[in-house]
Chains A and B, each alone.
Chain A
Amino acid sequence: MSLTAAVKTLRIDGRDLSGRQEETILDVARQHGIFIPRLCEMEGLSDVGACRLCLVEVKGQNRLLPACVTAVEEGMEVTTNSDRLQKYRRMILELLFTERNHVCAVCVSNGHCEMQMLAQGLDITHVHFPYRYPKVEVDASHDRFVIDHNRCILCTRCVRVCDEIEGAHTWDVLGRGIDAKVITDLNEPWGLSETCTSCGKCVHVCPTGALFEKGRSVAEMLKRRQFLPYLTLMREENE
């Protein structure tokens, strides 16, 4: 943070707010309690702008901008919630539900799932696209953790936390398009991974029940996310 940080004033949903020039629309919105849905973004991790749920309308821009990576600008007028944005967000979530096999009733994260909460918030009662019902694996080879690809939404939070915070880079993405999946090491069983430190950060940043601790039953997997902003803040202060 430089001592001469410029401050920009902008308007989000009709509220006059200010932010430092390196802050994003999402940063400022979060500071002021304005909720913008997102699944890939997480405080403490780098931003990839991949889930497209945080798209917002900016006056004078003919395209929608991802709030997580768009820096604030002087005089910006941002709308975080409109009928159009709601419709797109609902469709994107519906597409996610059709992609793999998300069955809340039997999920360890039922009641604590970010995707489920977003869907509830957007009043999604049913999905009008047909489901894919793909056959995907569950890898329970690790002593303490399980990856259930049925519930993975490819947000890549696990990939980023492992690389950026833990420094192990055990996780990565294999394949492309609808066939993409997260893998450990060179697509070996997690339990055989030589790089994994079993720190469990990936499990706790995972927004759904794709990554969970062994021994948890339905709705029992509570995730602790607060460690991440704290951890990054402490590291910055020590630098």
Chain B
Amino acid sequence: MTPEELEQIAETERAAQSQFQQRVHVCVAAGCMSCHSQSVKDALDQEVGRRGTKESCRVKGVGCMGLCSEGPLVSTSTGVLYKQVAAGDAAEILDSLEGPAVARLVCRTDVPFFQRQQKIVLENSGVIDPDRIEDYIAAEGYTALIKALTEMAPREVVEQVTKSGLRGRGGAGYPTGLKWSTVAKSVGTQKYVICNADEGDPGAFMDRSVLESDPHRVLEGMLIAAYAVGASEGYIYVRAEYPLAIKRLRNAIRQAERAGLLGANICGTRFSLRLDVRLGAGAFVCGEETALIASVEGKRGTPRPRPPYPAMEGLFGQPTLINNVETYANIAPIIRKGGEWYAQIGTEKSKGTKVFALAGSVQNTGLVEVPMGISLREMVFEIGGGIPEGRKFKAVQTGGPSGGCLPESCLDMPVDYESLARAGSIMGSGGMIVMDQTSCMVDVAKYFMDFCMTESCGKCIPCRVGTYQMHRILTAISTMSATKQDMSMLEELCDLLKHTSLCGLGQSAPNPVVSTLRSFGEEYRAHIDDHKCPAGVCGQQENGEQG
């Protein structure tokens, strides 16, 4: 494929699309699919067929539109977004294309949830059909790859990524440009690129949504990365719990191969890349890069001590670039528009935008992409629309089981890597769970510890036995049977796990406990001294278990 051929495909597709005066987009990502958006799409298709308007009206399945809690979502070419659409609404929606909107289904888009977002990673989500490469190409898809291959040296690609200030979106925030240049400079007979799509944090679904809505974007990012570091083979490690994402990804790989954008001698250059999908078997620890690599190699998915880092000795002992889905999804626009453009967005040390999965006790739950540096208060009360039913905000949990709970006093803090770390939490992969007065922080800490305990691989002793002991103490606290001695033991274990565990899972497993102890210590004391759960959660649970 040459740049001219790509432009040809884009123009043909744009021309084909402009033939339709009327367009109806139905979300077919997992969120809306789970509330039957497929039947809505089928009904719309049928209705269009019945009316014989197939030539002028196009019904298209698109990726995630963000406001998952109001699904199934349908948007139209008249600029209206409809929420909670049912199959029976098809006729009314089609009528509305030439008349007034269907008032009872209209979802307002002039609210902060939509207005405050800035979409880079998700720019195509909800717009293009994830199953058609032509649609992606019409939206400037693969132009960044062609630009990199035909106009830039690998070194220049790395330079742009470094300039952009992009940092790893998997959670740790390691500078992407630095990682790329390390792999580029490493010596090996074969280099690899890996995409980490083993998203496992409870309540997080950013990567799933990107893969379901815009799979080609991730492939393009990986292609550019492989070109920059000199890799010719790559793997996408997806958890098997994401069947739709896997299906679309495999389809995208097939289409890209057929178009000559993936495989041998891409675009007539010497650059080749073979990509394969590998499925995770449900172990959370396989999101840790060395465990993930072991799993791809066909071994038991357990982490190993670093150094050597994968950039030097990774997959099969060769230099390996391993980035998260969202990191790769940021690459194409950076190459297209330049690193400087990207570096204008965000804060001094955290550049660009971040996708968050907003969940828990907020009005609007779903997927949002916001510029770095936005305050937590804006996230929860403006974008999230505040706490439902007049309840009171208590905490926001970021970073999943490795993160922490931030109290009200942290609400005006900007959301960036450093600020979150200073407050005792982490950016993490982008899960954000809002909690109100009805949540007990001991119960929350226990939940996450239970998660870490079950997901510990069992290789190192502090994590394997430590998480068990911590979970035991937290269970004792929540059943009002803990003593002061248990508390000091809990604090000792937090310290031990943080400093002696082998990998990130164990090292960060105490975070939910440490952060709740710090900000909500009085709740722990109420359980232990007064045998009371201030939120009224633990008492009920105890009765429930006994009953």
Contacts and interface: CB of A to CB of B under 8 A. Distances in A.
A61 B373 CA distance: 30
B458 A176 contact: yes
Given A88-B499, A129-B489, A50 B465 contact: no
A48 B456 contact: no
Contact of B460 (A51, A98, A179): A51
Given A49-B304, A55-B500, A64-B500, A178 B460 contact: no
Interface string B453-489: 1111111111011111100100000000000000001
A201 interface: no
B496 interface: yes
A41 B453 CA distance: 25
A175 B468 CA distance: 15
A66 interface: yes
B455 A177 contact: yes
B305 interface: yes
A130 B476 CA distance: 12
Nearest to A99: B465
Interface in A69-90: 69, 88
B492 interface: yes
Contacts of A55: 500
A91 interface: yes
A88 B462 CA distance: 9
A153 B460 CA distance: 10
B458 A180 contact: yes
A122 interface: no
A173 B500 contact: no
Interface string B219-248: 000000000000000000000000000000
A130 B502 CA distance: 23
A130 to B, nearest CB: 7
Contacts of A49: 304-305, 460, 502
B464 A154 contact: yes
A48 B469 contact: no
Nearest to A178: B468
A63 interface: yes
A157 interface: no
Interface residues of B, number: 30
A96 B458 contact: no
Interface string B246-257: 000000000000
B500 A88 contact: yes
B501 interface: yes
B283 A98 contact: no
Contacts of B472: 130
B300 interface: yes
Contacts of A50: 459-461, 502
A178 B465 contact: yes
Nearest to A66: B305
A221 to B, nearest CB: 23
B465 A98 contact: yes
Nearest to A128: B489
Contacts of A173: 300, 458
A215 to B, nearest CB: 31
Contacts, number: 88
The 5 closest A-B pairs by CB, nearest first: A180-B458, A49-B305, A95-B465, A177-B456, A52-B500
Interface residues of A, number: 31
B309 to A, nearest CB: 13
B15 to A, nearest CB: 54
A71 to B, nearest CB: 8
Interface of A: 48-52, 55, 63-64, 66, 69, 88, 91-92, 95-96, 98-99, 128-130, 132, 153-154, 172-173, 175-180
B464 A177 contact: yes
Interface string B283-301: 1010000000000000010
B461 to A, nearest CB: 5
Nearest to B506: A52
A95 B466 contact: yes
Interface of B: 283, 285, 300, 304-305, 453-462, 464-469, 472, 489, 492-493, 496, 499-502
B492 A91 contact: yes
A132 B500 CA distance: 22
Nearest to B493: A91
Given A52-B502, A91-B496, A154 B458 contact: yes
Contacts of B458: 154, 173, 175-180
Contacts of B305: 48-49, 66, 69
Contacts of B283: 176
B462 A95 contact: yes
A158 to B, nearest CB: 15
A64 B469 CA distance: 22
Contacts of A129: 469, 489
B453 to A, nearest CB: 6
Contacts of B300: 172-173
A99 B500 CA distance: 17
B219 to A, nearest CB: 32
Which of B455, B501, B502: most chain A CB closer than 10 A? Answer: B502
Given A52-B460, A92-B496, A98-B465, A178 B453 contact: yes
Contact of A98 (B459, B469, B492): B469
Which of A52, A55, A153: most chain B CB closer than 10 A? Answer: A52
A66 B502 CA distance: 9
Contacts of B456: 176-178
A142 to B, nearest CB: 24
16 contacts: A48-B305, A51-B461, A52-B460, A52-B462, A63-B499, A64-B500, A88-B496, A129-B489, A130-B472, A154-B464, A172-B300, A173-B300, A177-B455, A177-B464, A178-B456, A180-B457
A98 B493 CA distance: 14
B468 A132 contact: yes
A177 B302 CA distance: 11
Contacts of B465: 95-96, 98-99, 178
B461 A52 contact: yes
A92 B460 CA distance: 10
A119 to B, nearest CB: 13
A122 to B, nearest CB: 14
B472 to A, nearest CB: 7
Nearest to B285: A176
A177 B489 contact: no
A72 to B, nearest CB: 13
Contacts of B492: 91
A89 B214 CA distance: 49
A149 B493 CA distance: 25
Contacts of A178: 453, 456, 458, 464-465, 467-468
Contacts of A88: 496, 499-500
